[in-house]
Amino acid sequence: MTGDGGVTGWLRKAGGKLAALLELIRFEHTVFALPFAYLATFMASGGRPDPATLGWITLAMVAGRSAAMAINRLVDREIDRRNPRTAGRPLQRGAVRVPEAVFFTALSLAGLFYAAWRLNPLAFKLAPLVPVAFVIYATSKRWTWLAHAFLGLAQALGPLGAWIGVTGRFEWCGVLLGAATGLWVAGFDVLYALQDVEFDRREGLHSVPARFGVRPALAAARLGHGLTLLLFLAVSAVHPVGSFYLAAVALMGLLLAYEHSLVSPDDLSRLDVAFFNVNGVISVGFFLVSVIDAVR
């Protein structure tokens, strides 16, 4: 019984640690970026990606995003401790220790590099640029209100990297898919930053809302999302698309309009709904509708 109890206790502890690590990186938010990388994979491969290639791209995306989130949490751990909104995160409450987060980051980066190596030489050569982008974003709010743009740049590497993972080349379609995804993420990151305007100002941190105020920030997010739609439409100029892809862009436009209708300068109470729920529907819905053109 002692042996069984020991094993049971170890499993319970290991499960709790895994849950804390997944909470640390907000694993469920992988749904925001992964569908656009999958779309790039399907489009680059003519609708029929090699299963092994799809698997390595999945590993690269999951590992890369996990590393990015862990780096951000490590860099911001003292700031997050002082922010009432984030003071209960795993690092701050001790559910994950700093050495554990560092080891998890290293393991995630190893997964990213291994997946890139398995894909093709260009993907592997470019892989070291990915953690550099992560670190730049993680530190950027200390020195520029364009921090949202650096997040967008990091997110743009997903679809672009997937395209390179399939073709081994830079091509305009991959660049446009990446840029559109990056602008979409940067736009909703501006909205997300509305939660911390006063805290950021007190701490000397930079964001569009902290620098310019709530109303201009909302306008900036709308502009970014408008450009997002234009870039997704521009894909049709460099790659054959069909009616389902165009319908997906239209659907995204409607959902983005709804997202922005939920938030106003006088009422930010539905910000979580706009950020989490609507954006999850946008990413998954865009992939499921537009990929029909790629596979048929």
Residue 67's CATH number: 1.10.357.140
Closest CA to 128 of 150, 112, 142, 107: 112
Residues pairing with 267 in the sheet: 264
pLDDT at 1: 42
Question: Does any domain span residue 30?
Answer: no
If one counts every other C-beta atom within 10 angstroms of the C-beta of residue 195, the result is: 17
CB 218 within 8 A of CB 152: no
CA atoms of 217 and 219, how far apart (whole Å): 5
Q: Is residue 19 part of a domain?
A: yes
pLDDT in tens, the chain (296 residues): 444 557 666 656 767 878 888 888 887 777 788 999 999 999 999 999 999 999 999 999 999 999 999 999 999 999 999 999 999 999 999 999 999 999 999 999 999 999 999 999 999 999 999 999 999 999 999 999 999 999 999 999 999 999 999 999 999 999 999 999 999 999 999 999 999 999 999 999 999 999 999 999 999 999 999 999 999 999 999 999 999 999 999 999 999 999 999 888 888 777 776 677 888 899 999 999 999 998 87
| Measured CA distances, 11 to 8, 14, 18, 22, 103 (Å) | 5, 5, 10, 16, 20
10 in a domain, yes or no? Answer: yes
pLDDT at 29: 75
What is the domain range of residue 116?
Answer: 2-25+35-295
Does residue 60 sit within a domain? yes
What's the confidence (pLDDT) of residue 271? Answer: 77
* Residue at 110 is within a domain: yes
Question: Looking at the domain assignment, is residue 188 inside a domain?
Answer: yes
What does the alpha-carbon distance between residue 34 and residue 53 come to, in Å, rounded to a whole number?
14
Q: Is the pTM of this model over 0.85?
A: yes
Residue 216 lies in a domain: yes
Sorted by sequence, the CB contacts under 8 Å of residue 192 that are 6+ apart come out as 271, 275
Tally of domains in the chain: 1
Residue 173 lies in a domain: yes
